[in-house]
Amino acid sequence: MYIIDFLENGRRKLSEIFRRPMVYLDHWALNELALCDAYRQRFTGILNNRGGMLRISAYSIRELANQRDKNQIDAILSFLDEVDTGFINIHPTQVIERENQILAGNHTVGNPSADLDIIDIYLTAMNNPPTWSISEIAKTCLDNTDESSFCSEDFLTKVTSTTGKARQDKITTDRMKKHFTKLRSVGQQYCAATRELLEMVIAFVINNQSMKMKDLSEWNDIFHLIVPVAYCDIVLLDKRWNAFVKQTGLTAPGIAYVYDKRAFEDFFTTLENGCFHNHT
């Protein structure tokens, strides 16, 4: 839930109230829940009954822009308004920078995973409309923004280049294996596991040379993984990244409960009955 306060100087102050459980959906899962009536009613009913929230990202909108069926897009957009929905910043280095500010004593940062910029830009562009919705913001982004602007190509290019070279170097792969093992044994060191997950996923890819990571598109899913798993309560991912999270040794409720398509019933059970630790 977003709250807007207008200050004496006429400026706007935007803040967000975080509700639990927080749920993040990979693109396939967003389609699965929004386009299947039975899943949709079940999900929205449980989440609203528990007073939880759905979190989406700018990258979710980027992937939605690649979806060609307009009826499907409209159904997904309306789905966003059936529950309390907010935006999450899934750029890991930006979130870690905010975490570092908190560690340095700056407690005005708020939740490091919050993404208020999208809302703020929309409200400014629309001259502070009295009513608005997440679906309207998402649709405005789809209609007026080039999809490439949602992708942090600089981050992906750097990671792809670094890991590609590292995979060819035995000294580096051996070092990454030891680093992954050390990270796993030490465990989570901060209030959120953002940096551990980032380092682990890079080490994981370097260690698994047979894993296809040929171009930037192969790296898309790490945006759905690192920050959401660190800051949300339940995350739906694809099979290989779910397997990765299981190998990290990090467990809920310190991180999110993570499921893939094979465990939909477990996902709904946790959503309905799970107890969630405030790791934000």
Q: Where are the domains of the chain?
A: 2-273
What is the band of 47 on the pLDDT scale with cuts at 50, 70, 90? very high
Q: What pLDDT, on the 0 to 100 scale, is given for residue 150?
A: 47
**C-alpha Rg value of the chain to the nearest Å:** 19
Q: What pLDDT, on the 0 to 100 scale, is given for residue 233?
A: 97
Question: DSSP secondary-structure letter at 55?
Answer: E
Query: pLDDT tens across 98-146, in order?
Result: 999 999 999 888 999 999 999 999 999 999 898 999 999 999 988 875 5
Q: What pLDDT, on the 0 to 100 scale, is given for residue 165?
A: 67
CA dihedral 268, 26, 24, 221 (to 10 degrees): 130
220, pLDDT greater than 80: no
Q: What pLDDT, on the 0 to 100 scale, is given for residue 159?
A: 64
Question: DSSP secondary-structure letter at 132?
Answer: -
Q: What pLDDT, on the 0 to 100 scale, is given for residue 257?
A: 97
211, pLDDT greater than 80: no
Q: What pLDDT, on the 0 to 100 scale, is given for residue 161?
A: 63
Check if the beta carbon of residue 193 is closer than 8 Å to that of residue 255.
Answer: yes
Query: pLDDT tens across 59-102, in order?
Result: 889 889 888 899 999 999 999 999 999 999 999 999 999 999 99
Model's pTM, two decimal places? 0.89
Q: What pLDDT, on the 0 to 100 scale, is given for residue 156?
A: 60
Q: Return the structure tokens found at 149.
A: 């602007």
Q: What is the mean pLDDT of residues 262-268?
A: 96
Q: Return the structure tokens found at 58.
A: 């700018």
CA dihedral 46, 63, 222, 251 (to 10 degrees): 0
Q: Which helix (H) or strand (E) holds 114?
A: none
Query: pLDDT tens across 18-42, in order?
Result: 999 999 999 999 999 999 999 999 9
Query: pLDDT tens across 147-200, in order?
Result: 444 445 566 666 666 666 676 667 777 788 888 888 888 888 888 999 999 999
Q: Which residues lie closer than 8 Å to 132 by C-beta, 6 or more apart?
A: 122, 123, 126
Check if the beta carbon of residue 141 is closer than 8 Å to that of residue 61.
Answer: yes
Q: CA-to-CA distance for 19 and 276, rounded, in angstroms?
A: 11
| Cα 66 from chain centre | 18
Query: pLDDT tens across 229-257, in order?
Result: 999 999 999 998 999 999 999 999 899 99
Check if the beta carbon of residue 19 is closer than 8 Å to that of residue 53.
Answer: yes
Q: What pLDDT, on the 0 to 100 scale, is given for residue 147?
A: 46
User: Within 10 Å of residue 203's Cβ, how many Cβ atoms?
Assistant: 23
Q: How many CA atoms lie within 13 A of 31 on its CB side?
A: 19
CB pairs under 8 A, 24+ apart, for 165-169? 166/206, 167/205, 167/206, 167/209
